[in-house]
Amino acid sequence: MKVTVIGTGYVGLVAGACFAETGNDVICADIDEEKIESLSRGEIPIYEPGLETLVANNMASARLRFTTDITDAVRASEIIFIAVGTPPDEDGSADLQHVLSVAKSIGQAMQREKIVCTKSTVPVGTAQKVRETIEEETDIKVHVASNPEFLKEGAAVNDFMKPDRVVLGVDSAFAERHLSEVYLPFVRTGNAIHTMDIAAAEITKYAANAMLAARISFMNAIAQLCEATGADVDMVRRGLGSDKRIGSAFLFPGVGYGGSCFPKDVKALIRIMREHGADAGILEAVEEVNEQHKRFLLNRVYERFGKDLSGRRFAVWGLAFKPNTDDMREAPSRVTIPALLDRGATIAVHDPVAMEEAGRHFGDRVDYHRNNYDALNGADALLIHTEWLPYRRPDFVRMKEALAEPVVLDGRNLYRPETMRELGFEYHSVGRRAVTPKGK
């Protein structure tokens, strides 16, 4: 099938490469000439495991190409996916200007019947606006649909190729038939294609992200209770997650969620609910708890070292909002580090892949280290923001020798408190008792 994906950001690029991998002829289109030139050379602008190889292989097989010619891309394809950004406005609502601009271009380019499918995360009612925008430009029949993505950064290729489910919001048998055909190679193991009305599909995406964000904030609220009472949040988490009605996913306490989806989508859903007269109180609480927990490590630093940090040096492991990505959007490190710098501290940082991105945020205000142990030299404490695999089983003897003081403030609960105590560390984590070295 001939497919066009308009927008070569995170969602569009992954979708285009994966559609091509299953034998479709795919055009990825974007108005950003520099980005298209880079992609045409095989240069991938984001870090996503497996994506570079997927793009290269499908370009070499002539199933995937990149262009800035939106008109040609629309006319060459049967199905057009809109995958442009929907950044939040100042009031938290999703900005649809890019989506509707693409819709207008599609309408102007159409010469025959098309399926136009929104893949961007958009508020309920957006597909209707897309339809109206296209129909203002053409009398040719258009089938508008919604196909929200459910990709995890760091595992997006695998999520697309082996989805838990595919959600299709359609209002015609024609669109349902053709979109189901495109997705059949991805659900051969039996995972479902859920066909529903368009409004339900649009809401499903926001509801899914809000539910996962709520689980994170709920567990962080429980962690606060555990700290106040002396309970161990890991034991609570295991007890809670063993309930089949609840499950264990997204119940790990930490320094809050970040990234391109959860913060934006929770804000947008709050706005949507208010506009429709629905009570958004539960999501407002989710957002409030998350903002509190982004300051978790910062507050622990203040409690341990005071608020005048002149002459203090801190090491930071992990800058991205999660492992296996270089994405620092809404990352907790972007809360902690500027605040410490403003209090007079010096900062040494390490992240396996987000160093270049960190440079755009922090400039020369921090010291960058390619080796995570080098960042520890002379530091008064280590602060852990991201649960990268190399941090999970480090050389503790080397850590202790490098640190000026053996203090670890762990925002991801990577280590066992009793083990850290025996190794001679002062160790603070989320929802568990702080420990000090034996004999102190």
Same-domain check for residues 336 and 243: no
In a domain, 410, yes or no: yes
- Compute mean pLDDT per 10 residues along the chain, 440 residues long, and list them: 95 97 97 95 92 96 97 97 86 86 96 95 93 96 96 93 95 96 91 94 95 97 95 96 95 94 92 94 96 97 97 98 95 98 98 96 97 98 97 97 97 97 97 87
Per-residue pLDDT at 249: 93
In a domain, 436, yes or no: no
Same-domain check for residues 301 and 288: no
Per-residue pLDDT at 182: 96
Give the residue from 267, 293, 319 where a domain finishes.
293
Per-residue pLDDT at 439: 66
CA distance 101 to 373: 48
Question: Exposed (0-12), middle (13-18) or buried (19+): which is 135, by Cβ within 10 Å?
Answer: middle
**Backbone torsion region of residue 395, taken as left when φ is above 0, otherwise alpha when ψ lies between -120 and 50, otherwise beta:** beta
Same-domain check for residues 171 and 92: yes
CA distance 332 to 254: 10
In a domain, 398, yes or no: yes
- Quote the distance between the C-alpha of residue 326 and its chain's center: 10
- The CA-CA-CA angle for residues 82, 88, 93, to 5°, reads 95
CATH number at residue 302: 3.40.50.720
In a domain, 185, yes or no: yes
Give the residue from 196, 215, 239 where a domain finishes.
196
Same-domain check for residues 302 and 287: no
Same-domain check for residues 225 and 335: no
CA dihedral 176, 177, 183, 188 (to 10 degrees): 120
Same-domain check for residues 236 and 325: no
CB 176 within 8 A of CB 170: yes
Question: Exposed (0-12), middle (13-18) or buried (19+): which is 16, by Cβ within 10 Å?
Answer: buried
Which of the residues 18, 117, 226, 261 is marked catalytic? 261
- Look up residue 40 and give its amino acid: S
In eight-state DSSP terms, residue 43 is -
Domain region containing 112 = 2-196
Active site residue 117: no
The number of domains in the chain is 3
Give the residue from 196, 226, 242 where a domain finishes.
196
